[in-house]
Amino acid sequence: MSTHRYHQHFTVSWDQLQRDVRELCHRLMERDLKGIIAVTRGGLIPAALIARELNVRVIDTVCVKSYDHMDQDRLEVLKGVDHDGDGWLLVDDLVDTGKTARAVREMLPKAHFVTIYAKPEGRPLVDQYLTEVAQDCWIQFPWDMGVAYVEPLIDQNRLDGSASG
């Protein structure tokens, strides 16, 4: 993570993600879908949740690898699909700068592209999203987080030497 680019953090819990996906699905219920295409890897879990909520059984993936630090403009398509996306729901967790979104949009121009979260730079590339977040906000998804033990406050105070005794 590049620290100069992000000034805010937004931590998404599993519960919050599921609530957000369900809310997005309310807006998608009238669509007659041939299937879902998940943008790997971030779109896999939202796509699975959407598939459950909308009872969609056909799921495919597009696999795109972006190069972050050394080669920022390069994207490599590791796996595409053999159609233009007509009747399909294209799902990713987030649209950020729009680099990945632009690539998958070119591959699937007729897909209905949804993300759970959208930043201003990438927002115009998706058809629907649920929550807008600031461009300088780092989103921490639950699959990137681990549960860790936290000392009780009383013990933390003792370690700091600030407990009176």
Single out the catalytic residue among 68, 93, 136, 144.
93
Is 84 a known active-site residue? no
In our burial notation (b when 16+ CB lie closer than 10 A, e otherwise), range 40-79 reads bebbbbbbbbbbebeebeebbbbebeeeeeeeeeebeeee
Question: Of 65, 55, 106, 116, which is closest to residue 85 (Cα–Cα)?
Answer: 106
Is 96 a known active-site residue? yes
Single out the catalytic residue among 32, 96, 155, 160.
96
Angle between helix axes 44-54 and 14-26 (nearest 10 degrees) is 50
Single out the catalytic residue among 73, 84, 86, 92.
92
Structure tokens at 11: 């931590």
Place of tokens 């994207």: 75
Is 60 a known active-site residue? no
Place of tokens 């209905």: 112
Interatomic CA distance for residues 94 and 132, integer angstroms: 10
Distances (CA, A) of 34 to 51, 86, 98: 11, 8, 25
Residues taking part in catalysis: 92-93, 96
